[in-house]
Structure 1
């Protein structure tokens, strides 16, 4: 899988621009109540995929905490088999940002937000 391709997973789409920088894409939380929670992904200066989630006031049930979830693909070995890693950000309140990043030599597979 290369960064030049479009990655799609459900309601999420990440497209990389000409300079290799990630365009932000959002996915709404399914269980978000009084808050609308979204996750965003991009690349840092070293080329590692990063993701963060935020919650803003909305309507519905209450959300006490949220966190971002990111899935990273890592190519390993001479035969280039792919390992998928799922990383979780810290649980934080609705007014704060939860963030997490993949390691070096990783590719973004998908990201989302979890609420409770």
Structure 2
């Protein structure tokens, strides 16, 4: 299987204001500029899902900090119980990249950007 191509085909650009972004508390316009944020997902060489987010200048909303959120599914036990883990990247300023990675034997469930 070519996971890279499947993830690239399924990659989702999450714009600020989209459903499911969670924390969209906008900072005052004087404290932060206008930015457009997006999240992307990929697979590393070992098959682990990675997600990253970046906010670039241009139209959009006022952003002081952002981080990426990734949801990973892991199959556990003889009965194959599915556990969902939510992992958060570090809070970084606009123009910087926030990244987070699921562990081994995990499957990508979803990803998004949180801002404040």
So what's the TM-score if we normalise by structure 2?
A: 0.79
Q: Deviations over 1:30-76 (max 9, x none)?
A: 14771000000010010000000000112354211000000000000
Look up the match of 1:7: none
Runs of 4 or more above 4 Å deviation: none
Decide which structure has greater helix share: 2
Asked if structure 2 preserves the Cα contact closer than 8 Å seen for 1:89 and 1:98, the reply is yes
Q: What residue in structure 2 maps to residue 29 of structure 1?
A: 16
The separation in 2 between residues aligned to 1:60 and 1:104, in whole angstroms, is 36
Matched residue pairs, number?
99
Of stretches 58-67 and 92-101 in structure 1, the one that deviates more from structure 2 is 58-67
SS in 2 for 1:27: coil
> What is the CA–CA distance in structure 1 between the aligned matches of 2:74 and 2:103, rounded to whole Å?
9
Matching residue of 1:79:
79
TM-score w.r.t. the length of structure 1 is: 0.79
Structure 2 CA distance for partners of 1:76 and 1:107, relative to 1, 3 Å? same
Root mean square deviation of aligned Cα: 1.6
**Is the contact made by 1:29 and 1:112 (CA closer than 8 Å) also made in structure 2?**
no
